């Protein structure tokens, strides 16, 4: 694979030593630096188009000051999509502002153009893919560039061209010191020389949207595991499996029901989630992230959590305490919550990422649509860190849930664990659902940007309802389409949980079907559909419910036998066969 090419705009003001430093840093990555004077927009445009015809190209402002770690992240390997380096800012520089939503740049500024409701500041790097759309946008900008009478930094001009053409441009978050300012550059360089690049690489490896407990507690320990993993060459998938094994051992201790072993299991649960945090850190640090690794990480999280629930209930039963009803309720709740979470974020991303094509000659963009006064106020409050973290805790992410499991196990009370998780989970679902409904009310988008394909791939329709989606129909283009998969799972899993609450063996049915819905979700988010052949073998939502209804009424075979046979069948089909098929598909695509 050819080395990426980088055009450095040396026409901007700045010391020669600083420009030499930047050139050296980029060359250290193996990228090919193309020295150019980009002061003439037309000649610069022609050169950029010429270079793009043979591969992706980055344009960099020579005033950029950052460490080698950030430069490596930008240029070590070629890129396949367009992106810019930008930092979130409450008061962006008007000449370098951008508005970003769902990681996509919706509007960008130059010395001549203005952004309404800016959220970020551009740091002087734009990476361009060499797609036909990018080349067309650049070629079509020639007449505008010929009319320019004011100097505009070329990197900002290129960013403006591709963004206003409607081409997708994503944001790369900076790590460590990243500056584009001309003032006091010597002081900035001095600070940069003291920067620990290893620390910056770890900073980039840590997720930016974790929960409160994960961010301020778990990640402190996971970095230790990550350092050990990097020294010993452990792969992210190895670490994911290690976390799964540790969680299974913790579950085995939980299943005994003995107080001392519950306490040991509590410690192992925290170890399991610390190790689980590390797999993503290693993947991001080494740049070996993969679709297979992401799916494996997410899928095993669901397996670990639900197996722990079952083990705790089994341990409680040894003390003549029946907690299976609440376990079933928790499985339903968590599945509904997660599907609602992922689908809303994905659909909102598709809708928020809609970019209006704006003429280059237009000074101000088209403006930002309001999500309603209540949601606008909520978004404004989120900029206050205490409010942001309070909301993250209310959301009850996995770190907080597993902390509750450990605390309850230390107390020797599975009942405390389940009632706390169920109560807080219901409150969290109600809180986020209200906000999402209020936000969705204002959505008005065409089918092409409605995100309907994301949710329609998850319907899991059996033979009786498949006709709804025939002939290319798209019934879920409405503003609340994101909620349909979650509501469908609420109906299916909820009815099974209620009708089978007296049968602990129903856990396996619920567990396998819930995993199937997660699997379908993750495939959909990556643009894939669950194989129709396997959907038919799984009977679809209505087929499975029909079997439960008939057996509960005494038809076919007794309900208990159906749950035993069906649970075994669905575990083999959805967790065994379907997972094997998906892993093979991902491996063949890589």
> What are the pLDDT digits (tens) for 43-63?
999 999 999 998 999 999 988
Exposure b/e, 458-491, CB count within 10 A at least 16 = b: bbbbbeeeeeeeeeeeeebbebebbbbbbebbbe
pLDDT tens for residues 487-512?
999 999 999 999 999 999 999 999 99
What are residue 545's DSSP bridge partners? none
> Looking at the predicted structure, is the pLDDT value of residue 16 above 80?
no
pLDDT tens for residues 115-143?
998 999 999 999 999 899 999 999 999 99
pLDDT at 557: 84
pLDDT tens for residues 326-345?
999 999 999 999 999 999 99
Least confident of 113-117, 166-170, 189-193, 416-420: 189-193
Between 375 and 148, the more confident residue is 148
pLDDT tens for residues 531-578?
999 999 999 999 999 999 999 888 778 999 999 999 999 999 999 999
Q: Which of 301, 341, 460, 519 is catalytic?
A: 301
Instruction: Taking residues 357-366, report their average pLDDT.
Output: 90
Q: Please name the residue that has the structure tokens 């979650």.
A: 486
Q: Are 524 and 298 in contact (CB under 8 A)?
A: no
pLDDT at 493: 97
Contacts of 404 (CB under 8 A, 6+ apart): 417, 420, 421, 424
> Looking at the predicted structure, is the pLDDT value of residue 188 above 70?
yes
Q: Are 316 and 259 in contact (CB under 8 A)?
A: no
Class of domain 206-356+363-589: mainly alpha
Q: Greatest CA separation found in the chain?
A: 86
Instruction: Taking residues 72-85, report their average pLDDT.
Output: 91
List phi, psi (to 5°) of 235: -85, 160
pLDDT at 253: 98
Strands (E), 385-439: none
Three-point CA angle 432, 278, 331, nearest 5°: 40
Structure tokens at 217: 């507690």
pLDDT at 292: 87
pLDDT level of residue 39 (50, 70, 90 thresholds):
confident
What are residue 57's DSSP bridge partners? 5, 128
Integer CA distances (angstroms), 328 to 98, 261, 504, 509, in order: 47, 24, 9, 10
Percentage of residues in the chain having pLDDT higher than 70: 94
pLDDT tens for residues 291-322?
888 899 999 999 999 999 999 999 999 999 99
Least confident of 354-358, 359-363, 480-484: 354-358
pLDDT level of residue 17 (50, 70, 90 thresholds):
low
pLDDT level of residue 581 (50, 70, 90 thresholds):
very high
Break the chain into its structural domains and give their ranges.
Answer: 5-195, 206-356+363-589
Rounded to the nearest angstrom, the gap between the alpha carbon of residue 388 and the centroid of all alpha carbons in its chain is 18
Q: Are 68 and 28 in contact (CB under 8 A)?
A: yes
Superfamily of domain 5-195: Spore Coat Polysaccharide Biosynthesis Protein SpsA; Chain A (3.90.550.10)
CA distance 389 to 377: 16
Question: Residue 184 — left, alpha, or beta (φ > 0 → left; ψ -120 to 50 → alpha)?
Answer: left
Percentage of residues in the chain having pLDDT higher than 90: 64
Contacts of 30 (CB under 8 A, 6+ apart): 3, 75, 76
Closest CA to 170 of 58, 81, 92, 79: 81
Q: What is the mean pLDDT of the chain?
A: 90
Catalytic status, residue 301:
yes
Closest CA to 518 of 389, 352, 331: 331
pLDDT tens for residues 200-231?
888 888 877 788 999 999 999 999 999 999 99
């Amino acid at each position: 694979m050819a080395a990426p090419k980088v055009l450095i705009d040396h026409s901007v003001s700045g010391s020669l030593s600083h420009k030499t430093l930047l050139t050296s840093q980029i060359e250290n990555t193996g990228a090919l630096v193309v020295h150019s004077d980009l002061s003439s927009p037309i000649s610069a445009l022609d050169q950029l188009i010429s270079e793009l015809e043979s591969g992706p190209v980055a344009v960099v402002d020579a005033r950029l000051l950052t460490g080698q770690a950030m430069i490596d992240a930008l240029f070590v390997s070629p890129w396949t999509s367009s992106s810019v380096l930008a930092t979130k800012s409450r008061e962006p520089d008007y000449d370098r502002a951008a508005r970003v939503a769902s990681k996509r740049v919706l509007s960008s500024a130059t010395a001549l153009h203005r952004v309404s409701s800016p959220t970020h500041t551009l740091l002087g790097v734009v990476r361009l893919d060499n797609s036909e759309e990018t080349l067309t946008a650049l070629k079509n900008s020639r007449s505008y560039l010929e009319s320019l009478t004011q100097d505009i930094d070329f990197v900002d001009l290129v960013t403006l061209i591709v963004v206003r053409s409607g081409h997708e441009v994503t944001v790369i978050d900076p790590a460590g010191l990243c500056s584009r300012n001309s003032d006091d550059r010597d002081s900035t360089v001095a600070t940069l020389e003291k920067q620990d690049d290893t620390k910056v690489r770890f900073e980039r490896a840590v997720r930016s949207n974790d929960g409160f407990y994960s961010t301020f507690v778990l990640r402190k320990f996971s970095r230790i595991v990550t350092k050990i993993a990097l020294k010993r060459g452990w792969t992210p998938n190895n670490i994911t499996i290690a976390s799964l094994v540790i969680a299974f051992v913790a579950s085995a201790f939980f299943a005994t029901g003995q107080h001392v072993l519950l306490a040991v299991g509590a410690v192992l649960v925290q170890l399991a989630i610390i190790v689980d945090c590390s797999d993503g850190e290693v993947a991001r640090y080494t740049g070996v992230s993969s679709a297979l690794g992401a799916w494996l990480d997410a899928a095993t999280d669901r397996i670990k959590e639900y197996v722990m629930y079952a083990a705790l209930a089994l341990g409680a039963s040894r003390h003549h305490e029946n907690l299976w009803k609440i376990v079933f309720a928790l499985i339903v709740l968590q599945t509904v919550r997660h599907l609602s979470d992922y689908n809303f974020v994905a659909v909102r991303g598709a809708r928020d990422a809609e970019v209006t094509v704006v003429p280059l000659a237009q000074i101000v963009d088209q403006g930002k649509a309001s999500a309603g006064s209540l949601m606008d106020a909520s978004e404004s409050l989120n900029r206050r860190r205490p409010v942001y973290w309070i909301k993250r805790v209310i959301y009850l992410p996995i770190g907080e849930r597993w902390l509750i499991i450990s605390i309850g196990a230390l107390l020797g009370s599975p009942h405390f664990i389940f009632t706390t998780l169920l109560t807080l989970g219901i409150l969290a679902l109600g809180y986020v659902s209200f906000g999402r409904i209020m936000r969705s009310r204002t959505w008005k988008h065409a089918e092409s940007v409605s995100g309907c394909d994301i949710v329609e791939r998850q319907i899991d329709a059996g033979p009786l309802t498949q006709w709804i989606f025939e002939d290319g129909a798209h019934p879920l283009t409405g503003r609340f389409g994101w909620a349909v998969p979650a509501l469908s799972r609420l109906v299916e899993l909820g009815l099974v949980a209620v009708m089978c609450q007296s049968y602990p063996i129903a856990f396996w049915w619920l567990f396998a079907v819930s995993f199937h819905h997660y699997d379908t979700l993750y495939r959909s988010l990556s643009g894939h559909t669950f194989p129709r052949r396997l959907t038919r073998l799984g009977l679809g939502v209505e087929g499975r419910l029909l079997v439960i209804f008939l057996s509960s009424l005494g038809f076919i075979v007794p309900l208990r036998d159906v749950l035993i046979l069906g649970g075994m069948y669905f575990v083999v089909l959805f967790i065994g066969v379907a997972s094997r098929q998906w892993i093979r598909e991902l491996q063949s695509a890589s």
